[in-house]
Amino acid sequence: MIGLNLRVTGHCNQGGRKYMEDAFVVAYQQTKDKTDLEYAYFGIFDGHGGREAALYAKEHLLDAIVKQSDFWSNNDEHVLRAIKHGFLTTHLGMWKEVGKWPKTLSGLPSTSGTTASIGFIRRGKLFIGHVGDSRIVLGSESMGGENWYAQPLTHDHKPENPREKERIHSVGGLIMNKSGVDRVVWNRPCVGHRGPVRRSTHFDKIPFLAVARSLGDLWSYNYTAGKFIVSPEPDVSVVKIDTRRDRCIVMASDGLWNMVDISEAVRYVQQAERDNEHAFLEAAQAGSQDYQVYNPSKMLVDEALYRWNRFQTRADNTSVVTVMLDPAGPSRSEVLLRQRYLYRLRPREEAREPQAPPSPKPGFLAPDGEGQAFCTAE
């Protein structure tokens, strides 16, 4: 029972990079009687060092969370505990897979890792788990205001963050600056090393990773401290969704956020919503069953790519999932038709039932490469 209606889009693009290492996921679980949804699930995974960790998280993180009894509790803290445990279980599960992943050019085990920013909508609330620098943003309508405003629901895990810096140092890690960017240091066995890593092994100190938390990045395990320097432990939180004001959730990799700030992103979504309403009502007025759907996720990806290219910079992989939030009850299309009907109704006119809603023509492509997904849960 998710407690509200959802309209969901997604889009991703490889940009100018040689490989696509981003992934996103949208999933729903129906109730046993198939009359409602137990939850809706969304996730953004921005991989690095290969896409293996991102794909593994996409395929396994959901199951690792929902198979725990805590997830199904009505106690929010228990649900958050299940999310945290699911992150750690997924991360440790990569130990069994890393031997199958491509090795580095120097023959060392894979350095693949991924951000993970996920959300569950359940019981009218958004439950969040987050590692890395992908972001989740809530777009809301202010009282009496015309424009929606943005509220960040996650905070980037960067090595320069004082809290992360202290944690990294406390587990024996180092941070070095490379080309103006603080990075977590990889104590990499010297080239030519053979056999197991021991205390006597000689290491090169490589300024390596610009995020402080992730799933994967198994190279960061400090055997002396028994801890991962790049932590897999997520920030978890819960937000009550108020459909009287909350309008959308935007989740994206840093391919978007490095070019578009959160307020701009929410404004783009608001404009797409206005365009969709206008197109829908025009089609209804013309008696047409077809109309153009504007995908806010694609609009955001396209804008980010435009800005990357404008700065003559090789565009990063960019992935966006946008969730429109509607009150429980009639679908948004039914509400719009009713509003139009009441607006046009004259006192002496006979009341007529509004027409059946026209059908959109959404694109439905798998979210593994360039493409989009459009789906509804109403």
Beta partners for residue 275, in sequence order: none
206 located within any domain: no
Q: Contact 326/6 with Cβ under 8 angstroms?
A: yes
Per-residue pLDDT of the chain (378 residues), as tens digits, is: 788 999 999 999 999 999 999 999 999 999 888 888 999 999 999 999 999 999 999 999 999 999 999 999 999 999 999 999 999 999 999 999 999 999 998 888 999 999 999 999 999 999 999 999 999 999 999 887 789 999 999 999 999 999 999 999 999 999 999 999 999 999 877 665 565 665 656 678 999 999 999 999 999 999 889 999 999 999 999 999 999 999 999 999 999 999 999 999 999 999 999 998 888 778 777 777 777 888 999 999 999 999 999 998 999 999 999 999 998 766 666 665 565 544 454 444 444 444 444 444 333 333 344 444 444 444
H or E element in which residue 22 lies = strand 22-30
Question: Taking the model in full, what pTM does it have?
Answer: 0.87
In a domain, 189, yes or no: no
| Domain assignment present for 343 | yes
Distance CA 155, CA 134 (A): 9
Give the closest residue to 375 by CA, choosing from 59, 366, 364, 367: 364
Helix axes 332-344, 262-285, angle to 10 degrees: 60
**How far is Cα 345 from Cα 297, in angstroms, rounded to an integer?**
36
Residue 219 covered by a domain: no
- Region class of 312: left (phi > 0), else alpha (psi between -120 and 50), else beta: left
61: domain CATH number is: 3.60.40.10
* 313 part of a folded domain: yes
- Inside any domain, residue 199: no
Cα(257)–Cα(21) distance, rounded to whole angstroms? 16
Expressed as residue numbers, the domain containing 81 is 5-154+233-377
Instruction: Establish if 220 belongs to a structural domain.
Output: no
End-to-end CA distance of the chain: 12
22 within domain boundaries: yes
| DSSP conformational letter for 282 | H
**What is the count of structural domains for the chain?**
1
